[in-house]
């Protein structure tokens, strides 16, 4: 765990290597996955605000990761000296976070379960996928996909089995290799 939801936002992070993800916990303790992070992305942006605030989501590392950290006071002082830092942070917030949120909302309101899982896999392939000789490898579990697509793990398993029979992907323990990601969005 790097950041805990509702802790005071006292640090800004830049992920230098590895993978992380944001999530929130529901009142009954269920983890709702929000966004996967890759090297070069920042998180903990609430530390940039002029008024002290809390982190809105938790962030956890999914693999060995390395990052740079700035204390809130330090990054605020740097923003005064280098206004481009604030412009960059706002650009990231608008382009990455709002775009992701809009796409997720559209998918939840217009796609069936099959379509939501397919869109999530395509999104994860571009965000955290690693190119291999066999396709694009994703290190995700069925439970991750179920939480991210708002479906059950059984539904994920059924869809993955179908796509595996169709040659679109190969499934292993904790990993998926997308062989033909373009077919995910066109398959029934």
Instruction: Return the pLDDT at 98.
Output: 67
Residue 99 CA, chain-centre distance (Å), reads 12
| Sequential DSSP letters for 32-43 | EEEEEEETT-EE
- Residue 96 confidence (pLDDT) above 80: no
User: CA 137 to CA 80: how far, in whole Å?
Assistant: 42
DSSP, res 48: G
Q: 170 forms bridges with which residues in the sheet? A: 177
Task: Determine the structural domain holding residue 38 and report its residue range.
Answer: 11-103
Q: What is the dihedral of CA 104, 18, 26, 161, to 10 degrees?
A: 60
**Lowest pLDDT segment from 65-79, 81-95, 134-148, 162-176:** 81-95
**pLDDT tens-digit map of 58-77:** 999 998 999 999 999 999 99
**pLDDT tens-digit map of 1-50:** 999 999 999 999 999 999 999 999 988 888 888 888 888 888 998 998 88
Shared domain for 99 and 139, answered yes or no, is no
Shared domain for 19 and 97, answered yes or no, is yes
Domain count for the chain, please give it.
2
Q: Which of 83, 103, 123 is the last residue of a domain?
A: 103
Q: Which of 74, 103, 132 is the last residue of a domain?
A: 103
Shared domain for 18 and 98, answered yes or no, is yes
Q: Report the CATH number that the domain containing residue 150 is assigned in CATH.
A: 1.10.10.10
Instruction: Return the pLDDT at 38.
Output: 87
Shared domain for 115 and 99, answered yes or no, is no
Full-model pTM? 0.75
């Amino acid at each position: 765990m790097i950041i805990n939801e509702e802790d005071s936002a006292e640090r800004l992070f830049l992920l230098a290597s590895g993978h992380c993800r944001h999530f929130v916990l529901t009142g009954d303790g269920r983890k709702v996955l929000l966004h996967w992070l890759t090297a070069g992305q920042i998180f903990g942006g609430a530390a940039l605000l002029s008024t002290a605030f809390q982190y809105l989501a938790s962030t956890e590392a999914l693999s060995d990761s390395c990052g740079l950290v700035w204390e809130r006071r330090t990054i605020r002082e740097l923003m005064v000296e280098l206004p481009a830092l604030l412009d960059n942070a706002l650009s990231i917030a608008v382009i990455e976070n709002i775009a992701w949120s809009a796409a997720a909302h559209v998918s939840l309101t217009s796609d069936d379960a099959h379509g939501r899982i397919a869109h999530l896999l395509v999104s994860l392939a571009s965000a955290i996928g690693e190119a291999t000789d066999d396709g694009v490898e994703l290190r995700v579990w069925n439970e991750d996909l179920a939480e991210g697509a708002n479906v059950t793990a059984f539904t994920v398993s059924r869809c993955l089995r179908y796509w595996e029979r169709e040659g679109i992907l190969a499934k292993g323990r904790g990993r998926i290799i997308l062989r033909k990601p373009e077919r995910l969005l066109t398959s029934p």
